[in-house]
Chain A
Amino acid sequence: AQSVTQPDIHITVSEGASLELRCNYSYGATPYLFWYVQSPGQGLQLLLKYFSGDTLVQGIKGFEAEFKRSQSSFNLRKPSVHWSDAAEYFCAVGAQGGSYIPTFGRGTSLIVHP
């Protein structure tokens, strides 16, 4: 069964600082990997996804993530955080083939200090 671990429940950064949110997955083959963001009162929005090919993927809002098979990781990064980035971030893994049903991590809450 696939699973996702987001080891950090909360991350606090200063506005303008760089950001890295950690995600580790468990899956027997190469998975589909995703990062979603959820702002208060809003639905989940897809930031970026990895299916195959280039292991560094670019997403919306200046985010990027790197797939590292050897570490079973898919960490999310942003070089300079804006106050509007404060939100809940979820990493998800989906099995290739079949129904593709994303399994989500518990999320990391990003707090941005001015």
Chain B
Amino acid sequence: DTGVSQDPRHKITKRGQNVTFRCDPISEHNRLYWYRQTLGQGPEFLTYFQNEAQLEKSRLLSDRFSAERPKGSFSTLEIQRTEQGDSAMYLCASRAAARLGEAFFGQGTRLTVV
């Protein structure tokens, strides 16, 4: 399977705990996006990488959130001191540099904070 892979698919955590999600993009894609999607809403942009450089961050990305993409391959999104409001689907997408618009999405990681 050469699609975008996200791990884990589901995560239940207690409020105040830290969680980390992983995204493996399609291998030749150097652009990578993280989005958050809550019930009944469209995906909301969180952050964007070009290779290993984090070029854009949304105001939604509070200081409890951090994302990395070491070596420009896989990416991780960490949420520290989780809150119930962090419960959402976290989506990762990747695209090739020249293929504007052709972003491929993973199936997402569903986070539930209890």
Contact = CB atoms under 8 A, between A and B. Distances in A.
Interface string A32-43: 101010000111
Given A99-B55, A99-B56, A90 B101 contact: no
Q: How large is the interface on A (under 10, 10 to 19, 20 to 34, 35 or more residues)?
A: 20 to 34
Contacts of A99: 48, 50, 55-56
A61 to B, nearest CB: 16
A43 B41 contact: no
Contacts of B107: 41-43
Interface in B55-99: 55-56, 91, 93
Contacts of B100: 32, 51, 94, 100
A32 B56 contact: no
Contact of B43 (A46, A49, A94, A104): A104
A22 interface: no
B111 interface: no
27 contacts: A4-B42, A9-B40, A34-B101, A41-B107, A43-B4, A43-B105, A43-B106, A43-B108, A46-B102, A46-B104, A49-B101, A51-B101, A90-B42, A92-B42, A99-B48, A99-B50, A99-B56, A100-B101, A101-B33, A102-B45, A102-B101, A102-B103, A103-B45, A104-B35, A104-B42, A106-B40, A107-B40
Interface of A: 4, 6, 9, 32, 34, 36, 41-46, 49, 51, 90, 92, 94, 99-107
